Structures are given as C-alpha cells and as structure tokens.
C-alpha cells in the first residue's frame, strides 16, 4: 500500500491495487489513458479470442508487483521513502512509449528512426505533459524516465533498474501471468509472490535466494512455453506480419514515423491507426484480409536450437532475407511481395531473442545458517536453466493461401527439405 | 462436441470450444470477425481496467454453453441432428447485430429507427453475406435469424428459443461469468454446469429442476450484483452517457443511423466510430474528456425499490426528463446541456430493467421418485427470488466537475433532499 | 507480515501466510498440531469427497485474515504493537477447544457438561501447555483465552473481539471461502479483501463502510447458500447424526466426556475416537454403516421461514422431540431408536441457527465527503439483508433404508402432509 | 457421461463427475469408502497444511479423466461399449490396494511380502467383496483387476492399460493437478484437456500428437517440480521416514503385514493404524514426536543428476545403507538408530525414481495433411524432455535435532564435504 493511500483499482489478475494521489493523477492523464487503446498482444487475438487486454492494465500490474518487491523487507530496508514512490511511478510509466499494436509498431521505429519503444518511453516521460506533472508533484522527470527503462545511473542502485528491467523483472512477471489469464493458454502459472519474497540485494544487484529455485525454474519455463504458445505462435505471427506490412506500406501516406512532438506520437493508437489503414489505398487490402481472418499461411517452418544462432543472424539481416524471398518467389512462380521470411529474432517480435538469452543470467544465492549470502551460478545448479539458455529460433516462410503449395516446394528446394520432426505445430 | 469436429478455440472462461467446419466458416467471416472490434462492456473499462473483452468471444461462449444444454440428455433426446446444429449456429450469431459500443449505440437505433439490436441481428443474419453462407451450407437463414433472437415459431419448440433468450438463457450465463472473469468483480461466480444439467422441457418450455435451486438463486443474485457493480456502476454509466451523447451529436455529420444496407451497418465498429468521433467537431470535446478520464460527475443518486416503478416510468419519458433537466439547470445556473438525468431503465442501459423483471419468471419443477415432473412457482419456493423480483431502479443526475456542487443543491431542492441512506456508492 | 518475521506457511486458499517465531512455537505444539486430526466439516465428505480439510489450516487462515484486518489503516492506527500480536495469536488459537468431528462432539459437551467448544477453547488456552508457552513468551494467557472466543473485556476494545467473533468476523470469512474451495460447492466466493478494506471502528465497534455493500451482501448470501448446500445438506446431516449417535452410545464405555484435565481432552481426536468407536460394541454397527455409506434416509423434510421460529424452538427441546419420535415410530411400526427428528438449530449443527440470526446485525456506515462517519441500519439499506434475516429452519425425519416408506407415511400423518413445494432437495 | 447415468459427484478439481449405477454400487462399498481414510500424500501435510486429500477422491478423479480419454473420438471409435465401462471401473478401483499412509506402507509390503500396492490392488479387486459385486453386475473381476494395474493382456489393447498406467496416464494427470490444488504448491498446472484431446492410438499404443507438445512438456515439468516441491520435500520425507519407522517397529506387535485375507488387509487404514501406533510401546515415541511436529532434521543433502545413478543404486541397497549409517553414527558419537540415510529412489518413496525414468518414454507422433500418422522420438524433438530424463536423485542424512551438528560433520567427513551449490533447500 502506498504511504499516501488515495484509492484502489480492481485488477482481475492481482486483485486490489492501492494507489496514491500522485499515481492517480498520472493514471488519469492522456499518456496513460491512451494505453487503453494499445493491445498488449496485438495479433494474438486471432489465436486466443480472449487476448484483448491492453498496455494500460499491464502498467498498473507492473506497478503493483514493483510495490511488492519494494515491500520485501530485504529491499525496503535499503530504501528512502522517495525512492519507493519514484520506483512505483517508473513501473507505472514503463510502457508509455509503446506505439500502435505495441511491438508491431516498434519494427517501424527501429527501421525508420533507429529507436526502440524504450527510447520513446524516456522521451515521453520527460518531454510530454507527464514531465510537467512529475515536476509539479516533486519528482525528477529525468530520473523517472531513466528508471522506467532500467537505465538509471545512481551509485549502488542497480537493483532499482533490475526490478523493472532484468531477467526476473516485474514487467515479465506481470505479462506472463496476465497473458496466461486473458489468453487461457495454460503455461504461465508462476508463483510471483514466492519469487518476489526470495529477492534480495547482493552488492547492488537484485538476486534470488535459491530456496525459491522451483519458482524460478517455473518462471523461466513459463516464459519459454509462453513464447512458443503465444508470442511465436504461427497464426499470431502471421497477423503481426500483416499489420507490420500494412503500416510500412501506408507509412509514406500516413506519416506514422514522421512525428516531431510527443503529442504527435501520442496521437497514434490502435483505433486511429486501424481506421486510417482501412482507408489508405496502400494498406486497405491487408486490413480487409485481417477483418475476414484470411491470414498468411505458413509454407515452411523450422526450429533451431542453440547451436544454430548463426542461422538466425543471417536471416535477421534484411538484405539477405530479401534475397532469399526473391529466390523462393522466383522458384515458386509467385510475386516477391507474397513471400515473407519470418525469423522471430528480428525486433518486430514482441519479445525478442536477444533479450531471451541475456535474461537468463539471473543472480542467485544461498544463505547460510548465520545469514551469510553466497552468490551462485545458476547454470551449475539448474539443469533446466542450462537447457533453456538460448533455446529457440524459428524460421518460417509465409505466403498467401493461393501460393502455399508452390512456395512450400520452392522453399524446401532452396532451404533444404525440412525434416519431419521439425514440423511441429506449437 | 459437434458431430463434425473441425477444430477448437481456446477460451479463457470455458476452456476448449470444439467447432464444426460450418461454424468455422461463419466465425471466419466479416460479420463475426467484426465483433472483435465491439467491446462487450463499453464504458466499464473506466471502472475495471481489465474489462476489454468483446462480443466476439462472448458469442463463441454462448455457442459453447448452448451446446452443453443441447447435450443434456433431457434435451438431446428431443432433438433432430439438424436442430442441434441450427441452435449452435443461432447462439453463435445471436449478437451479430450489435453496433459500436454495443448497448450504447442501441439508444440511437431505438430513437432514430425504432429498432433494437435484436432486430438488426435478424436482418444481418438473413440479408448480409451470412445469409448466403448459411444457405450454401444447407441452413435456413430465416430460421437461424429467428432463433438467434428467440423468436422462432416452430410448434412444440419454444424451449429452443429459451435456450438463447429467457430468464436463464445461456446468453446471460455466459456474460455473467465472462464479465466477472475480465472485470475481476467477484460477484458473478455461478455454477453453470449445475444449472444446465438441471434443465428439462416441460410442455414445450425450458424449466429448471429444483434440486438446483441454490445454483438458480446464485445465478439470480450474481445478475443483480453484477448490475450494481458493473452495468449500473456510477462511473461506467458516466462513460456510457458521454459516448452516447458524442454519437448523438455527431450523428448528423457522420450518418451513424443512416445506413441502408447490412454492409453499411457492419462498417461501423468501435475503432472506426471512435476515430470518427475524435475528428468530428460536434463530438471531439467529449472524446478528449474520455481520453483524459475527465468523467461526468454524479451530483445526485437515488435507488428506488419495487414500489417506485412509477418513478422510473416517469423519468423514462424523454420529454419529462428534458423538462427536469431544464429546471435543475436553471436553478443551478448552468447550461441545460451540462445536466443529465440518468435512469438506467431506458434502453441505453446494457441490460435494462424490463428484462430484469421479466427474466425472473423462470419455470421450475420437482421430479418425484417415479420420474413425474410437477411445475412449481418459484415465488412460493424461493424467498430470495421474491426479494429480487423488480428490485432496483436508480435515478442519477450527472454534470461536469465544475458545476457539481450547484447541481447537487439544485437537484436536492427540486427532487427532494436525498436521504443519507440512499447515498450508497455501489 | 508480522513484525518479527520467522517464516511462512503455504495455504491453498490465501497463499503465503507469514508467521513470527512466537506463532511458530504455538503452531508446532501439541494442542495446535492436534487440530490436523479434526476435520473441519465432519460428515460433509459423504456429500463432497474433497471436503477433508481440518481445523488446523482453518486456524492458520483465520490468523491470516485477522492480520489483514489489523493491517487496515483504519484499525492499525488504533492499536499498540502488542495488541496486534495478541490478536493474531488469539485468532490462531480460536478453535483449540474443538473436539472430535468438531461440532458433532459439541452436542455431547453441551448435553453432558453444559459447555460449548468456546468454553473449552478458553480452558485449553489458559490451562494446557499453551498457557505456559504464552506466559513464557510474554503474553497473558487469560487475555488471549478471552479474545479467542470474543469475550475480552477491555475498555474501548470491543472491535478486537468482533474481528474474531461477530457477524462479519474473519472466522466466518475463512470458513466460507475454505469450505467452498475444498468442497467445490460454488457458492462461497466472497471478496474478503474488499470487506476487510471497508472495515473501520465506530465507537468501539467494528463496522463496514457501505461502499462495500455488494461485498457484504455477497458474504451474507454465500453464508446462506453454504448452509443450504453444505452444512445443512441432507446427507451430510445424516452422517453427523450417525456420528453423534455413535458417540452418545459409546460414551459410557469410552468416557468421552469424562475428561478432567486439558491433556485428557486433547487426547481425543478424529483418529482415536473413530478407532475406539469401531471397536466399541455399542457403536460399531453405526461405524460399519458409515464405512459402507449406508446412510440414514430422510423420510420427511420441511423448511420453515422466519415466522415459524416457534416450530424450531419446539423441536429444539429434546423431551418434545423424543415424544414425537415415539409417536412416529409407533405409527410406523418401527423401533423408536430408528426414528430421528433433526432440526438443525440444536447445537449439534456445525453453525447453528441462533448464531445465524444474531450475526446479521452488522454495523454499517456511510462516510461523507469530509470524512464524517454515520451509522446506518442495514435493514433499511439492503433488501437482501432483510430477506435473509432469520431465514431458514429445516425439520427432517430420518430413518434407516428399510423403514423409510412406513416412517414417511407415519410422519405425514402426524406432522401433517408435507406440501410438495417444500420437498426441495437442497 | 456414462451410458447409464445414475447421478453425479462434485469434485473440487474436475467439477461434476457423472456416474452409472454400477459405479455407484462400487463407490458405496467398503473397499472404496475405506480410501477416504487413506491420505493421498501422507507426510506432506507437515509442509502443506492443506494437503489432506485422500485416495478416495483421487480414484474418482482418475475415473473421470479416463472417461475423457475414452470419449476422445480417436479412442472411442475403437471401443465396444463394455470396454468403456470396464476401463472406467478399472480406473476407479486402481488404488484399492493401497495401505495406511499410502506409499509409506508400501515399504513394509515390499520388504516383508515382496508385494507392491499394485499387487494388492489386483488381489483386492478379485478376491474381496469387490470381485463378487463385479461378477454380479456382469464384469469380469480378473479383467478389471488386471486393467486397474495396467497389466491386461488383450490383443491389440495395450492402449487400455496405458490410459491407466503409462508415462502420460490419467493417474499422474489427476494426482498432479489434485496435489497442486490441495497443497497450494503452484507447480502442477497442466492442460489435461489438451493432452487428452491430443491422444490417439498408434499400433496398439497410446500416443500424443505433437501439436500438444507444449502441454506435454508442461506435464513433464509439472511432475518434476512436484517431486521437488512436494514428494521429495525435505520435511515431507522426514515425516514419511518417521511413519515408516514407527510401522516397522510396531509391526511384530501389531502384525501389520501378517494379514491373510482381503478383509484383514482392508481393516488397516490411517485412523486405525495411527491409533494403534500411538498405543504401541515400540512406536508411541515417534507418534508423540509427529504430534508435536518434532521432525527429523536433515544433516546432509546432495542432489545427483543423471550420471550419478550408480550412487542411488548403491544407497538403494539396504545392507550398504545400514553400513554407512553405522559409520556415520560412530563418527558422530550418536546411536545408529538416530541416523537415517534417505535416497528417495527406494520404493518407500511416493513416486519412485524408476518410474520417473521409464515414464518419460511417451510415444508421440505427427499427423500429415492427409491424416497419416508418423511416430516420432520425443528426445529428438524436445530438449526439455532430454533434460528431464533421469533427472534427479537426492541423498539425505536425517537425524534428530540434538545430534544434527555432529551428524553433519561426520557425514561430511565420510561422504565428502558437500559443495555449497548442492545445499539447495527445495
């Protein structure tokens, strides 16, 4: 509960979330309210009809879980009161910079502006009305902006960043349980309270006590299974590719990445962009397909394990991907346009592979009878961790329903016949 | 499970929903896919951030529960195979005629066209591409259209209508559990399987065996508490009033009720209408308020119990409501525009009062040791039923934040000082 | 979380329950550990096979919920630290005096010793090893003993008693949600956090703010439906009657109520008494029946509403009940032994009727904009409350399977033909 | 639903379980009702207070899940009606042969009689009153007895055995979700309906279609984490060791393994044996300790991974274990009695290691577009499977609280100093 209790929000996942007046002021402002019109899992609703939750409730949930970490006696004993409130607010605002359809838009951001949604988040927090609000209420906008994306430079305070952005951050904890709740995919049950209760600070880093190893392993597995079942789902990816393509095609007309001010950017949301794409000649066909669930079809799929990271690097390069698409299209006798190679390690993917690997390096420790804490290497302790490290790359070739068979044959010829074992439909 | 299993849909509320190929074809068509862009509880997200579910998943859920009734041996033994499939499909399509923001749009429909969303549903099923699809697959569009709104005239088959539209229909069953699930409001837990298992046909009517009386009472209470906590919630109603006002104001410019063809109508959804209202001069101010959560404030609230139905009838008449608004505004020294009298019995309300009362007449029966069924009067058996019958009318006066105090005083003077006991904030 | 955190207990209902070292010492002692061998709902397992939970986990749960009330800022601001810990411990120990099969044994206690389980609880806390433990750890055994049964006399501190024993006490809150969880009866979902958060102290009494009226109504309804579906269930009552009869018959041989010391009493638990009843000639037949689920059959059942309390008073008197049993037996031509009149208002019933009525008087209040609290009368505000007040008396006549028809006829003749509407099998 | 519906049982885990009259007759007989007095997880209640569920409800749950497999169109199309009912009943009776405290008693069975609980199950089904009941109702007792333990020899019908006893049998599925439900340990959430729906028969074997790979992996992980968190929990094992020791010590006096007839055996249950152990001089001290939660302490713990199976084999031999216990006791200066080496691969353990490894060999297959099924090797497809195969051996040395430090030192000297990384307290 915040020191200055103002009221509460009922969340279907976490129950009552108690908020302060400052938090209420931020929540009831345009930049936060806009997140109600940004789907958390754009595209996944074509797989899981219940997946209509938004960045708004996720942000409230992240603030809630951050507050649970901040109430853990191991952590709270290290903190001044203003640090607690700053951290809660940074958690609340951590996704303020997301664009329409969340990660789908990020692909354009990176390509056209070399910016991630985190860059935009910091910018929004500092430069939009949010910055003014924060100043007036006595917070430092720059500090909140940095902390919200895990980049606060404050001596001895790395763990504050890690609460919001690290291998076991509350962002991941919230989206795993929330995505499971609203999709109904039954892979994301994790004991967040056990995880959070087992947290402590070693040096200046957030670490997890090994008594909670099962909860930690369950968390890592839930993440992987969520990737396979939700974020990397074949049909969900198809929808995201279609949306991304529509936005790319319409960009010159709609100026989606031509924003100059925070206000310009914040005018973009799922509703306005969907309505615009529907009218724009360049994109209306794709939207018409989505509105009839005429999805791109997967003509080829292969999953690579850790040794094959090279492959994903190759396909991650647009120029090479383009070249392969051309070859396959030629072989199949279809237009290049209609062939899409998808490697969910490129940044268009909701939660990309790079993060997947790095995040595994979670500091863990044992506590002796006399209270002494000893850092351990998770890889020496958990075989499951070792296995999951750098787990999964997926290579897929999508095309439209008409050309599916031809593209399947062409791809098999060019990329090598897919071994039957790899044709797994998760 | 349908006779001709094609695949399954994962629903967070009911689990796996197995569908036939015919159902798949209907689900993957524009009229059904459009329901993904119609919120189930437009306005309620301002109270419950998680309430972002749509008519689409609700329709799938209603088909699922209908199939459970149709599998109940008491019912299935009476049915031909094609009746089962027709009823499943009618359940699936039962909300095809909803407009943007669901019940909020219905207010315009009634006012301008004297049509309810059910009228539109029948029209869409028969006259849109859905009708053609149904014919091609061997169904009778008219029959499906009638059954979907509970108006099929088929001798001895009243119970088929009642599965979809009656006091214990699967529509209500689904929305109560689904709304509870996504809002997190903890009042809608009902044992739908018990209810469904206790169903039978008496004469030609659907009836509930009294062994399930507790489940039936829980269902009725869940409905009432859901009304109080969700559908009639003060803030949720404020949002709905704002949306309805925005649409009324913009209607002459946007032609929202000027549609001629099913296709015109189906082009309207939450996304397109929100985007249009945001641009339209007449409505943009209201949308700007909603996007900053600057809600209408409730300056007066009074709850009436059964004896007071007269009051709600009075306020249900627009001319009288208009007159009172004018008087209050004059007394308060504010514009008439800024005073709104809301009586959630007018049809703008999600689930209106009339339905509330009528729905209570649920046939119940006892079964003797030798299997004989005897119809009972629920009111003689359940005191809870008696109490809930005709339960609740709410009268509220809303205004903007600036004029709240003045309007509160003015209303108190004109409508009588509100007794403190009635100032309950449910 | 207790001030001096020692560890945690994982509860399937409430999650992690954090405990202090003092609490750990009490939990790991014989009087508390014994509660693991006292079923919470003895008899109900014959209706709900999952209902095997015990007084032990219930006591931990009650401590947990008490701590949530004690953490509510409205309450915590009134309390000294030692009061908080005393109240937690009183909640933990509140059922220490229960006997084998919980309320079933209480019938003997009352009949032979004129003592309730609460009397025994106080005695155990003060006079057993628990008293010594409490003293050594700095608590006052008498104070804990009084508070545990809601009878602490401390000026201005009535609310402390009411946390543990009143119309909305945490005892009821825990058993309703716990019994629902383990039985699977879907009537006990209540929003305990909302209820607890809405609590405050008026005068010296615990009261509930009316913003939580829906939660309060849901709580009252959940209680009633739990009574009908679990505690008063026809088959569950049959099992309890059989167990009570077995204990009465074996009492002279086993000396169940002849205990002199707390240690004597605490030697009794479900395991030891069941094993003894199985060997004892007077009771072995009943246990043999239970072990084969040959239950008493209900030959007559009638439910009375509030006006009929007279009837339950009449049948509550053993002498009169005995007389009626004799008459019915004679008329039916069966042994008096085999006819049992059951009125679940006699104290043998888990949660007896008297408590049911009294508990309804829950103080509620409204809080004005300036924070002023005004006491309200629940009966003027909640129609549901009015309806439920003094709701239900059940009169049943049980007999063995062989004599069922004869006893049914005889009872109908003597007690009047049962109207069909009352033959409801909830 | 069974062909001949008789009634239903409400299960907190699976909901309504519909049963036939034959099933009702078996359920209401002594051998099944006795399972109400056999805890599912004897010992685990000292870790998870809610873990009081019994073999009875587990058996009902296994029948329920078996029926779901039997309703899967892939399976049902292969079966005659009587096979379905036989398989349901075999599932219901599959644990009829368990002894007091389930697997704890099995240790004695194996040692004294070289019999497992499965051997006893077959014996009970055939030779007790159950056999007579089955015959009278038209079943073949021998067939049911064989199928209940997965040993029916019927050409082409291996899959029937595998429904009840194999790597993905419904026994494991039920206990994983049920144990999670009642313990509150949050590791056993599995999508049983997905798993069951993905089942098919290849040759005559039960196999899982690879579309459900995530569900299958989640199932395997849930099992492992349940082992670590529940079945192999340090404190739960301590309780089981204490119980097993008590029974061994008291055996000569109580004749626990001296039963001659099914009736003798069935007279043993948790209640009667606990009461007897409490009185018996040889065991009463241990029971007194358990009743005060004075548990054996773990002085040494080491987890071995797959390469170390040799180690568990060594310690699995009683003679060697005895020798090591003697050496450690001598070194520590304590009695041999007070040193216990525990390797949860010996059959005393609830779900022993051998089963763990073998069960991993789950046939999986892919289905091509034209419906052709191709068997796959799970190890080539799932890295998680590869990792989990032969996962975990735990070696622990327990002693009483007094000797803990000395035994810790002595063990470290004799078995080698434990590396800190292995001191993980899951």
Please check the confidence at residue C348 and state whether its pLDDT lies above 60. no
Residues 6+ apart with CB under 8 A from D218: A186, A187, A221, A225, D189, D190, D191
Nearest to C411 by CA among C342, C308, C333, C331: C331
Higher-pLDDT residue of A421 and B386 is B386
Chain D nearest-CA residue for A423: D366
pLDDT in tens, A234-284: 999 999 999 999 999 999 999 999 999 999 999 999 999 999 999 999 999
* Span A97-107, average pLDDT: 93
Q: Which of C7-21, C293-307, C385-399 holds the top average pLDDT? A: C7-21
Please check the confidence at residue B323 and state whether its pLDDT lies above 70. yes
Helix (H, G, I), strand (E, B) or coil at B200: strand
Q: How confident is the model at residue B357 (pLDDT cuts 50, 70, 90)?
A: very low
Please check the confidence at residue B376 and state whether its pLDDT lies above 70. yes
- Put simply, the answer to whether A421 touches D391 (Cβ < 8 Å) is no
Please check the confidence at residue C301 and state whether its pLDDT lies above 90. no
pLDDT in tens, A114-129: 999 999 999 999 999 9
φ, ψ of residue D199 to 5 degrees: the values are -80, 150
Please check the confidence at residue C421 and state whether its pLDDT lies above 50. no
| Interchain contact C50–D (C-beta under 8 A) | yes
Q: How many of the other CB atoms lie within 10 Å of CB of B361?
A: 13
Helix (H, G, I), strand (E, B) or coil at A378: helix
Beta carbons of B34 and D211 less than 8 angstroms apart: no
Provide the pLDDT for residue D417. Answer: 59
Helix (H, G, I), strand (E, B) or coil at D344: coil
Q: How confident is the model at residue B225 (pLDDT cuts 50, 70, 90)?
A: confident
Please check the confidence at residue A350 and state whether its pLDDT lies above 50. no
Which other chains touch chain C, taking contact as 3+ CB pairs less than 8 Å apart? A, B, D
| Interchain contact C245–B (C-beta under 8 A) | no
**CA of A91: how far to CAs of A64, A88, B306, D191, in Å?**
8, 5, 48, 32
Q: How many CA atoms lie within 13 A of A311 on its CB side?
A: 17
pLDDT in tens, C312-323: 666 767 788 889
Provide the pLDDT for residue D422. Answer: 37
Please check the confidence at residue D423 and state whether its pLDDT lies above 50. no
Contacts of A194 in chain C (CB under 8 A): 16
pLDDT in tens, D277-291: 999 999 999 999 999
Beta carbons of C82 and C100 less than 8 angstroms apart: no
Contacts of D73 in chain B (CB under 8 A): 1, 5
Identity of the residue in B15, B194, B197 whose CB atom sits nearest the CB atom of D193: B15
Identity of the residue in D15, D193, D194 whose CB atom sits nearest the CB atom of B193: D15
- Put simply, the answer to whether A48 touches B185 (Cβ < 8 Å) is no
Exposed/middle/buried for residue B194 (C-beta within 10 Å: 0-12, 13-18, 19+): buried
**Poorest-pLDDT segment among A148-157, B28-37, C186-195, D101-110:** C186-195
Calpha distance A223→B322 (Å, rounded)? 56
Q: How confident is the model at residue A359 (pLDDT cuts 50, 70, 90)?
A: very low
* Span D101-116, average pLDDT: 92
pLDDT in tens, D41-80: 999 999 999 999 999 999 999 999 999 999 999 999 999 9
Beta carbons of B49 and A13 less than 8 angstroms apart: no
End-to-end, the C-alpha distance of chain D in Å comes to 41
Provide the pLDDT for residue D354. Answer: 38
Q: How confident is the model at residue A156 (pLDDT cuts 50, 70, 90)?
A: very high
A24: tokens are 């209420």
Q: How confident is the model at residue B370 (pLDDT cuts 50, 70, 90)?
A: confident
Provide the pLDDT for residue C65. Answer: 98
What pTM was computed for the model? 0.92
Q: Residue B395's beta-bridge partner residues?
A: B302
Mutual angle of helices B170-183 and B55-71, in 10-degree steps: 130
Provide the pLDDT for residue C417. Answer: 59
pLDDT in tens, C65-93: 999 999 999 999 999 999 999 999 999 99
Please check the confidence at residue A352 and state whether its pLDDT lies above 80. no
Please check the confidence at residue D418 and state whether its pLDDT lies above 70. no
Please check the confidence at residue B307 and state whether its pLDDT lies above 80. no
* Span B383-400, average pLDDT: 78
Provide the pLDDT for residue C318. Answer: 78
Provide the pLDDT for residue B256. Answer: 97
pLDDT in tens, C141-178: 999 999 999 999 999 999 999 999 988 999 999 999 99
* Span A187-195, average pLDDT: 88
The D residues from 52 to 81 touching A (CB cutoff 8 Å) are none
A365: tokens are 């420790």
Provide the pLDDT for residue C212. Answer: 92
pLDDT in tens, C94-142: 999 999 999 899 989 988 999 999 999 999 999 999 999 999 999 999 9
Q: Which of A184, A188, A273 to mutate to test the interface with B (most CBs of B within 10 A)?
A: A184
Q: How many of the other CB atoms lie within 10 Å of CB of B379?
A: 12
Please check the confidence at residue D426 and state whether its pLDDT lies above 70. no
Higher-pLDDT residue of C305 and A404 is A404
**CA of D253: how far to CAs of C268, C314, D239, D241, D258, in Å?**
23, 53, 22, 19, 10
Q: Minimal Cα–Cα distance from A34 to chain B, Å?
A: 7
Provide the pLDDT for residue D305. Answer: 61
Calpha distance C325→C302 (Å, rounded)? 16
Identity of the residue in A9, A45, A183 whose CB atom sits nearest the CB atom of B49: A9
Calpha distance A214→A382 (Å, rounded)? 9
Please check the confidence at residue B72 and state whether its pLDDT lies above 60. yes
| Interchain contact A30–C (C-beta under 8 A) | no
Higher-pLDDT residue of B347 and D368 is D368
| Interchain contact B320–D (C-beta under 8 A) | no
| Interchain contact C189–A (C-beta under 8 A) | no
Q: How confident is the model at residue C311 (pLDDT cuts 50, 70, 90)?
A: low
* Sign of the torsion angle spanned by Cα atoms C323, C329, C335, C341: negative
Query: Edge-to-edge strands of the sheet including B373-376?
Result: B199-202, B205-209, B364-367, B373-376
Contacts of B193 in chain C (CB under 8 A): none
* Span C348-375, average pLDDT: 65
B296: tokens are 């209408």
Q: How confident is the model at residue A305 (pLDDT cuts 50, 70, 90)?
A: low
D126: tokens are 């055939």
Provide the pLDDT for residue C3. Answer: 64
Complex ipTM: 0.93
Q: How confident is the model at residue A376 (pLDDT cuts 50, 70, 90)?
A: confident
A99: tokens are 């664009």
C30: tokens are 């014989």
Q: DSSP of C117-135, one letter per residue?
A: HHHHHHHHHHHSHHHHHHH
- H-helix or E-strand containing C251? helix C234-254
**CA of C347: how far to CAs of B252, C11, C37, C46, C95, in Å?**
71, 30, 22, 21, 16
Calpha distance D420→A365 (Å, rounded)? 10
| Interchain contact B191–C (C-beta under 8 A) | yes
Please check the confidence at residue B196 and state whether its pLDDT lies above 70. yes
Provide the pLDDT for residue C423. Answer: 33
Nearest to D236 by CA among D6, D48, D424, D27: D48
**CA of C260: how far to CAs of B308, C93, C127, C411, D258, in Å?**
63, 21, 12, 42, 38
* Span B90-94, average pLDDT: 98
| Interchain contact A8–B (C-beta under 8 A) | no
Q: Minimal Cα–Cα distance from B262 to chain C, Å?
A: 42
* Span A162-188, average pLDDT: 93
- Bridge-based pairing of strands A393-399 and A297-304 is antiparallel
pLDDT in tens, D218-264: 898 888 888 888 988 999 999 999 999 999 999 999 999 999 999 99
* Span D340-350, average pLDDT: 61
Calpha distance C275→B73 (Å, rounded)? 44
Calpha distance B147→A156 (Å, rounded)? 68
Give the Cα-Cα-Cα angle B214, B216, B221 (nearest 5 degrees): 95
**Poorest-pLDDT segment among A17-21, A54-58, D21-25, D298-302:** D298-302
Please check the confidence at residue C276 and state whether its pLDDT lies above 50. yes
Provide the pLDDT for residue D369. Answer: 75
Q: What mean pLDDT value characterizes chain A?
A: 89
Provide the pLDDT for residue C206. Answer: 95
Chain D nearest-CA residue for C277: D272
Please check the confidence at residue B407 and state whether its pLDDT lies above 80. yes
Q: Which of A25-34, B231-240, B394-403 holds the top average pLDDT? A: A25-34
* Sign of the torsion angle spanned by Cα atoms D279, D284, D288, D291: negative
pLDDT in tens, A90-99: 999 999 999 9
Please check the confidence at residue A335 and state whether its pLDDT lies above 60. yes
- H-helix or E-strand containing B398? strand B393-399
Provide the pLDDT for residue C424. Answer: 32
Identity of the residue in A16, A193, A194 whose CB atom sits nearest the CB atom of C193: A16
**CA of C366: how far to CAs of A334, B31, B305, C207, in Å?**
71, 48, 20, 10
Calpha distance A112→A90 (Å, rounded)? 27
Mutual angle of helices B81-93 and B55-71, in 10-degree steps: 160
Q: Please state, for a pLDDT cut of 70, what percent of chain D lies above it.
A: 89
Provide the pLDDT for residue D313. Answer: 64
The C residues from 111 to 140 touching B (CB cutoff 8 Å) are none
- Bridge-based pairing of strands D297-304 and D205-209 is unpaired
- Put simply, the answer to whether D11 touches C184 (Cβ < 8 Å) is yes
Chain B nearest-CA residue for C390: B383
- Bridge-based pairing of strands C364-367 and C205-209 is parallel
- Put simply, the answer to whether B387 touches C387 (Cβ < 8 Å) is yes
**Poorest-pLDDT segment among A23-37, B215-229, D54-68:** B215-229
Calpha distance D269→D98 (Å, rounded)? 9
* CA–centroid distance for A315 within its chain: 21
D376: tokens are 């796959």
pLDDT in tens, A280-303: 999 999 999 999 999 999 999 887
Q: How confident is the model at residue B416 (pLDDT cuts 50, 70, 90)?
A: confident
A89: tokens are 């607010």
Calpha distance C241→C340 (Å, rounded)? 8
Q: How confident is the model at residue C350 (pLDDT cuts 50, 70, 90)?
A: very low
């Amino acid at each position: 509960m915040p020191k200055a209790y103002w009221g509460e929000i009922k969340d279907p996942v976490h129950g009552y979330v108690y908020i302060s007046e400052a938090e209420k002021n931020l929540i009831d402002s345009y930049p936060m309210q806009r997140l109600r019109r940004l789907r958390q899992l754009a595209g996944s609703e074509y797989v899981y009809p219940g997946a209509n939750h938004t960045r708004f409730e996720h942000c409230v949930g992240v603030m809630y879980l951050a507050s649970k970490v901040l109430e853990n006696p191991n952590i709270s004993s290290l903190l001044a009161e203003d640090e607690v409130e700053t951290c809660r607010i940074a958690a609340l605002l951590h996704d303020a910079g997301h664009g329409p359809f969340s990660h789908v838009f990020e692909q354009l951001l990176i390509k056209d502006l070399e910016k991630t949604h985190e860059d935009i988040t910091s910018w929004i927090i500092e430069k939009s009305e949010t910055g003014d609000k924060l100043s007036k209420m006595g917070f430092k906008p720059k500090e909140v902006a940095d902390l919200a994306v895990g980049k606060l430079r404050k001596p001895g305070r790395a763990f504050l960043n890690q609460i919001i952005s690290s291998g076991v951050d509350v962002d991941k904890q919230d989206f795993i349980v929330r995505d499971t709740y609203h999709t109904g995919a039954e892979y994301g049950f994790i004991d967040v309270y056990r995880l959070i209760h087992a947290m402590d600070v070693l040096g200046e880093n957030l670490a997890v006590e090994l008594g909670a190893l099962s909860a930690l392993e369950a968390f890592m597995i839930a993440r992987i299974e969520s990737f396979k079942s939700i974020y990397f789902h074949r049909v969900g990816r198809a929808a995201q590719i279609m949306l991304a393509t529509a936005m790319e095609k319409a960009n010159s007309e709609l100026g989606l990445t031509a924003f100059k001010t925070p206000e310009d950017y914040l005018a973009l949301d799922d509703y306005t962009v969907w309505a615009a794409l529907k009218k724009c000649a360049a994109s209306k066909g794709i939207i018409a397909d989505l509105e009839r669930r005429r999805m791109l079809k997967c003509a080829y799929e292969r999953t690579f394990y850790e040794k094959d990271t090279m492959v994903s690097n190759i396909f991650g390069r647009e120029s090479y991907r383009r070249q392969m698409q051309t070859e396959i299209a030629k072989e199949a006798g279809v237009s290049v346009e209609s062939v899409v190679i998808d490697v969910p390690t490129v940044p268009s993917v909701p939660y990309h592979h790079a993060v997947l690997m790095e995040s595994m390096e979670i500091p863990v420790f044992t506590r002796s009878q006399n209270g002494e804490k000893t850092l351990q290497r998770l890889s020496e302790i958990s075989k499951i961790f070792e296995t999951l490290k750098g787990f999964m790359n997926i290579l897929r070739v999508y095309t439209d329903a008409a050309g599916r068979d031809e593209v399947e044959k062409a791809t098999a010829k060019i990329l090598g016949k897919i071994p039957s074992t790899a044709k797994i439909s998760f």
